[in-house]
Structure 1
Amino acid sequence: MENILHSPINNNTLSDFISAKDYTVSGNEFSIKIDEQTGLLITTPRPKAEDLGKYYESDDYISHTDGNKSLFEKIYNWIRNYSLKKKLALVESKHPKGALLDIGCGTGAFLSVCKQAGWKVKGVEPGAKASALAKEKVQESIYPSLFDAELNGQKFDVITMWHVLEHMPDLNATIERLKELLTPTGVLIIAVPNYNSYDALHYGKYWAAYDVPRHLYHFSQQSVKQLFGNHEFELKETKPMIFDSFYVSLLSEQNKCGRKKWFSAFLMGLESNIKAQQTGEYSSLIYILNRK
């Protein structure tokens, strides 16, 4: 295990925040600590980079399997297909068609939609099975790592990371790499869970989007703005991911009660979204950034 003592944003010493359980693979408890100045949460101690892969070995990662058998998987895929169209519309509202890199592309669903719309697409996906499915689906280059040498010198007009940044072991190195790959007028689109949302506060240690130890970091709006500001990115806009409150609440109910309580999850997801209309603290947020 690797013990993180200081914040990657400002080197501040971390304080205790909460402990959460890995409900997906190991069943182990993990501590989450906070940089009180910026609101960044950090899972620590955490598995070393070379050991993280085994914590992803679960069929529960639908985005890596294209599962479509159970009712849950069918609903997930219906919502995903709707969300893909919304994501494409967002991308096209921020930049004319060009070159797009999707980091953590899973089985290539978003890349496929973008390619059909006329974008030149490439992806990054470390999971061997998901990467193979993505290559078959889009017939384009899928790299095993953001730092793959074959990406050196390439430039992209839009880079997307849909619920991926929280998985990256080194935030500062990741953001510097994004700067290298993004054109000067390019757009960076980052989506991450928001632990200040009402559903997160309601479920506490059972909140599924903590997802330890796969989620190494947990973000607030303040921490995202300051983190990317340190690397000469400017936050232009923040947008909600409305469906995430329902999805995360359903998984959180299972964590808490041992089963998916659909009605309770729906009510909590709805209440979280209603409260977020006033606070801006949705279950997940999309951050749209440009280079300064």
Structure 2
Amino acid sequence: MITEKEFYKNLKPFLNCIDYTVSEESYEVMKNEDFDMLVTSPVPNNLEKYYVSEDYISHTDSKTSLFDKVYQLVKNHTLKQKLKLINSFNTKEKTILDVGAGTGDFLKVCENGGWKITGVEPSEKAREFAEKKNIALLKEISETENKQFDIITLWHVLEHIPNLVEYIQNLKNLLKPNGALIIAVPNHKSYDATYYKDYWAAFDVPRHLWHFSKTSISKLFSMVDMNVEKILPMKFDSYYVSLLSEKYKTKKSKPIKAFFIGFKSNLKAKRTGEYSSLIYIIKND
């Protein structure tokens, strides 16, 4: 297995991106061609402070701006889809671990659906929101005490993980032999990513350390003898990401233009499979 340092070898310049959410700082997005993966450089030493913002909506339940309202509306719809997905797996004990649980909405839906829930969320603010919904979240994945789960989910989390290789091995160890790992991440090969380039909101530097493709996810998990069994689209992501990207690019809200780009991205992805975000169903070989 390669070490994480090797991801930073032989990198080629790809894009220069700005942190539009917190700092306005500039970061290089470099390409590792062997993995078809993009890498944010440099990684700040104090990465935690880049999550401290009312604009970082996954750590709040904000409904104030247009983007907040769209996000919450889409979230409520996708929560039902996510529950339907995990219910499609034949598990006896129905144990689930959600990593990066945010404010606990997904786990609440799972609990109401009869699942035995465990969640991990490093943000204290997000954990406090979850507590108000009677969802107690762990701060670190190590606090799971090496239990094993039927299902482990990471909804837009893997791109945030600093110690990527070690973390993937930990996920494998926490998964039951016949369990399923469900990972959703942005796809830098999508049309909306290509269209918006350095304004593409899903680059989200420096919080997103890695930017994945189908090839990179497959290669990363094959290193721990895990196999991508199925890939599913997240069609709403192209619209929300395009809304933010238009704002970054033009300094204005352009919902009609954003909807058009999101629609075009999904239309092209019907042929290529390269949706704005993808869900990977991953199991042990």
| Superposition TM-score, scaled by structure 2 size | 0.95
The Cα of 1:192 is off from its aligned counterpart by 0.3
The match for 1:55 is 50
Structure 2 contact 186–212 (Cα < 8 Å) conserved? yes
Structure 1 contact 207–249 (Cα < 8 Å) conserved? yes
For 2:62, what is the secondary structure of its paired residue? coil
CA RMSD of aligned residues (A): 1.4
1:7 aligns with 2:14: no
Given candidates 263, 275, 280, the residue that maps to 1:282 is 275
CA distance in 1, matches of 2:25, 2:14: 17
Structure 2 contact 107–135 (Cα < 8 Å) conserved? no
For 2:109, what is the secondary structure of its paired residue? helix
1:159 aligns with 2:155: no
1:85 aligns with 2:80: yes
The match for 1:136 is 132
Structure 2 contact 35–215 (Cα < 8 Å) conserved? yes
CA distance in 1, matches of 2:26, 2:90: 43
User: Which deviates more, 69-78 or 281-290?
Assistant: 69-78
CA distance in 2, matches of 1:139, 1:209: 28
CA distance in 2, matches of 1:6, 1:13: 8
Structure 1 residues 15, 71: CA separation in 2 closer, same or farther (over 3 Å shift)?
closer
The 5-angstrom pairing of residues 177-188 of structure 1 reads 177-188=170-181
Structure 2 contact 104–135 (Cα < 8 Å) conserved? no
Q: Identical aligned pairs, as a percentage?
A: 48
For 1:273, what is the secondary structure of its paired residue? helix
Gaps of 5+ in 1: none
CA distance in 2, matches of 1:256, 1:173: 36
Given candidates 4, 24, 27, the residue that maps to 1:27 is 24
Gaps of 5+ in 2: none
The one-character-per-residue Cα deviations of 1:168-206 (angstroms, maximum 9, x if unpaired) are 001111111101111111100000000000000000010
The one-character-per-residue Cα deviations of 1:239-283 (angstroms, maximum 9, x if unpaired) are 000000000000000110012210000000000000000000000
The Cα of 1:153 is off from its aligned counterpart by 2.5
Structure 1 stretches of at least 4 aligned residues deviating more than 3 Å after TM superposition = none
Given candidates 168, 183, 189, the residue that maps to 2:182 is 189
The one-letter code sitting in structure 2 at the alignment partner of 1:7 is F
Structure 1 contact 111–123 (Cα < 8 Å) conserved? yes
The match for 1:107 is 103
